[in-house]
Chain A
Amino acid sequence: MNEFLLPVGVLSVLFIGLAAMLIVAERVLINYGICAIDINEGEEDIEVEGGDTLLSVLYDHEIYIPSACGGKGTCGECKVTVDSGGGPVLPTETPLLTRRERRSGVRLGCQVKVREDMEVRMPEEYLHVEEFASTVDEVEMLTEDIRFIRMMLDEPEEINFRPGQYVQVQAPSSEGPVYRAYSISNADYEKDRVELIVKLIPGGIGSTYLHNVEPGDPVTFIGPFGDFYLDESPDTELVCVGGGCGMAPIRCIVHSVLKRQPERKVWMFFGARSLADTFYMKQWEELEEEYPNFNAIVALSDPDPDDNWEGETGFIHLSVDKYLDENTSRQAFLCGPPPMIEATTEVLQEKGLRPDQWYYDEFN
């Protein structure tokens, strides 16, 4: 009996002793006390328990700075200026900060830990981002893995956003709620709702959640975020290039612009693999008929023989190259996978566009 009890007893005592040592060490070492955070020179003052990241304490106090990757340090959206108390710039931040940003104290909110009193500055509009409660109204599978979700707003009842902006949907996870960014796909005059077009990513927290909500389910999101500003001058042509669920913001932009400026020249390029990966084909056609200056071009890179496809083939940037002439005043909005963005921006550059005349939203 003793030969079993003794080793078990020795190990238990040892493990408990080591655990106790670590608990004491944690109390002493990782105890920063209460830290005060001053936002925009006195506009807001919050007091928080030290030790967490700046991003998470701001969220706890209902200050929603954008964060598309959910605090993993990959998107670079959560930039704020830390004037004091941020500590040195970390290796995880350097790839996402320019030299000028580093000099002026810009940091990634998701990487900076609150260890002492801090002074933080951020764009005024972040303080006005709201949390919305909504109810799912309608869902529809657009392709095999892309789903349309319409959410009617409950509280507040209206959302004011610019075309091309996005919201962050709160999704449940094993570590508490997390936020994932999705572009708004309905027109900006439909203020009572938010419509999303979401591709299912295997293992993805946000997309799995949104692919499983049903009409009647509550959904919480924050927003709007995004720094795309539409060029409203009527002589500037608008070029939208998208692939897959990258069509979500483009759908919003096209509908919003055509309603306000029916005469505006708008090009829409939609890249997909085969006909089964396209959606809203009928809507695009109707829009083309209704607005003579709207051109929708769909290109299939790998059409199925059964599609009987007679339109454009090949990758979408080839169609952009084919249809656009050079040196016209244009603004371009691109949304899709990185190779598509890279190839399309090259084409746009050849057509005489400057980098400040295009805006892209890249995702994998």
Chain B
Amino acid sequence: MNPTPALIIMVAAVFTNNILLANFLGMCSFLACSRQIDTAVGLGAAVVFVSTATVVLNHVIYYQVLVRWDIEYLQYIVFIAVIAAFVQLVEMFIERFSPVLYFSLGIFLPLITVNCAILGSSLFMVIREYSFAQAAGFGVGAGLGWALAIILMAGLRKKMLYSNVPRPFQGVPLVMIITGVMAMAFMGFTGMVSIQ
């Protein structure tokens, strides 16, 4: 059993072990949807919800069903199915309550299903042997961390809108470089807490 308190795990997942900046998971939608702050906030909120709900539900299914009957090898297909279902749910919800956000996220909303950050959090939860409370903290933290990174990036890209960027670096290359710099900046948090 992992001895770290759930709250620490949550804070660590946001800052020191940020799933995007430390593990570089979930890069594709991060690069594509970080142009506008509104879109980034919307997608970030969707990821927080999906990540929290799926890590919690996957924890229950994994320990109560898969481990109990000795069929852990089904974890990938089970995790993905749960994630897909929750993404569908979020899609319906956003379409109903914010059509503008729905259309500006476009294909990247259903693609949360294959966002590696989401599956990654469920798999980390297994590898790191989190308890239920820890898993819940980690789910929230992983989602919040990803959302924080994409919102920061959207803010930076907005600032850069009028910068005179050399041609070869315009667009994605510059975003990649900035992501690297952001990751280094986040390394400054390393001493604060640490999780396994």
**Are A and B genuine complex partners?**
yes
Could you say which residues of chain B place their CB within 8 Å of the CB of A25?
Answer: 88-89, 92-93
Q: Nearest chain-B residue to A19 (Cβ)? A: B85
Tell me whether A11 and B77 are in contact in the complex, defined as CB-CB below 8 angstroms, given that A90-B100, A91-B100 are known contacts: yes
Are A91 and B104 neighbours in the complex by a CB distance under 8 Å? yes
Could you say which residues of chain B place their CB within 8 Å of the CB of A91?
Answer: 100, 103-104
Are B99 and A113 neighbours in the complex by a CB distance under 8 Å? yes
* Docked CA distance A22–B81 (Å): 12
Are A14 and B69 neighbours in the complex by a CB distance under 8 Å? no
Could you say which residues of chain A place their CB within 8 Å of the CB of B69?
Answer: 6, 10
Q: Nearest chain-A residue to B77 (Cβ)? A: A11
Could you say which residues of chain B place their CB within 8 Å of the CB of A21?
Answer: 85, 89
Within 8 A of B (CB), among A16-39: 18-19, 21-22, 25-26, 29-30
Are A14 and B99 neighbours in the complex by a CB distance under 8 Å? no
Are B103 and A22 neighbours in the complex by a CB distance under 8 Å? no
Are B61 and A92 neighbours in the complex by a CB distance under 8 Å? no
Are A29 and B92 neighbours in the complex by a CB distance under 8 Å? yes
* Interface contact tally, CB-CB below 8 A: 53
- Against B, the Cβ 8 Å flags (1 = close, 0 = not) of A78-90 are 0000000001111
Q: Nearest chain-B residue to A89 (Cβ)? A: B100
**Residue among B71, B93, B103 with the highest chain A CB neighbour number at 10 A:** B103
Could you say which residues of chain B place their CB within 8 Å of the CB of A87?
Answer: 99
* Docked CA distance A7–B99 (Å): 39
Could you say which residues of chain A place their CB within 8 Å of the CB of B88?
Answer: 22, 25
Tell me whether A18 and B81 are in contact in the complex, defined as CB-CB below 8 angstroms, given that A88-B99, A90-B103, A91-B104 are known contacts: yes
Are B92 and A92 neighbours in the complex by a CB distance under 8 Å? no
> Quick one: which of A7, A19, A26, A29 contacts B74, CB cutoff 8 A?
A7
Are B100 and A22 neighbours in the complex by a CB distance under 8 Å? no
Are A26 and B99 neighbours in the complex by a CB distance under 8 Å? no
Within 8 A of A (CB), among B95-119: 95-96, 99-100, 103-104
Q: Does B82 contact A (CB under 8 A)?
A: yes
* Docked CA distance A283–B88 (Å): 59
* Docked CA distance A25–B104 (Å): 23
Are A30 and B92 neighbours in the complex by a CB distance under 8 Å? yes
Q: Does B176 contact A (CB under 8 A)?
A: no
Are A14 and B96 neighbours in the complex by a CB distance under 8 Å? no
* Docked CA distance A325–B191 (Å): 80
Q: Does A15 contact B (CB under 8 A)?
A: yes
Q: Nearest chain-A residue to B39 (Cβ)? A: A91
Could you say which residues of chain A place their CB within 8 Å of the CB of B103?
Answer: 90-92
Could you say which residues of chain A place their CB within 8 Å of the CB of B175?
Answer: none
* Docked CA distance A10–B78 (Å): 9
> Quick one: which of A15, A26, A88, A113 contacts B100, CB cutoff 8 A?
A88
* Docked CA distance A22–B93 (Å): 11
Could you say which residues of chain A place their CB within 8 Å of the CB of B61?
Answer: 14
The smallest beta-carbon distance between A5 and chain B, in angstroms, is 11
* Docked CA distance A11–B103 (Å): 33
Are B85 and A22 neighbours in the complex by a CB distance under 8 Å? yes
Are B74 and A90 neighbours in the complex by a CB distance under 8 Å? no
* Docked CA distance A30–B71 (Å): 36
Q: Does B65 contact A (CB under 8 A)?
A: yes
Tell me whether A7 and B71 are in contact in the complex, defined as CB-CB below 8 angstroms, given that A18-B85, A21-B85, A90-B99 are known contacts: yes
* Docked CA distance A21–B81 (Å): 13
* Docked CA distance A92–B105 (Å): 11
Could you say which residues of chain B place their CB within 8 Å of the CB of A7?
Answer: 71, 74
Could you say which residues of chain B place their CB within 8 Å of the CB of A6?
Answer: 69, 71
The smallest beta-carbon distance between B190 and chain A, in angstroms, is 38
Identify the 5 closest CB pairs spanning chains A and B, nearest first: A18-B85, A29-B92, A90-B103, A91-B103, A29-B96
Pick 17 A–B contacts, CB within 8 A, sort by A: A10-B66, A10-B69, A10-B71, A10-B78, A14-B78, A15-B81, A18-B82, A18-B85, A21-B85, A21-B89, A22-B89, A22-B92, A25-B93, A30-B95, A90-B99, A90-B103, A113-B99
Chain A residues with CB under 8 Å of chain B are 6-7, 10-11, 14-15, 18-19, 21-22, 25-26, 29-30, 87-92, 113
Having A22-B88, A26-B92, one finds 19 other A-B pairs with CB under 8 Å, namely: A6-B69, A6-B71, A10-B74, A11-B78, A14-B78, A14-B82, A19-B85, A25-B89, A25-B92, A25-B93, A29-B92, A29-B93, A30-B92, A30-B95, A87-B99, A88-B99, A88-B100, A91-B103, A92-B103
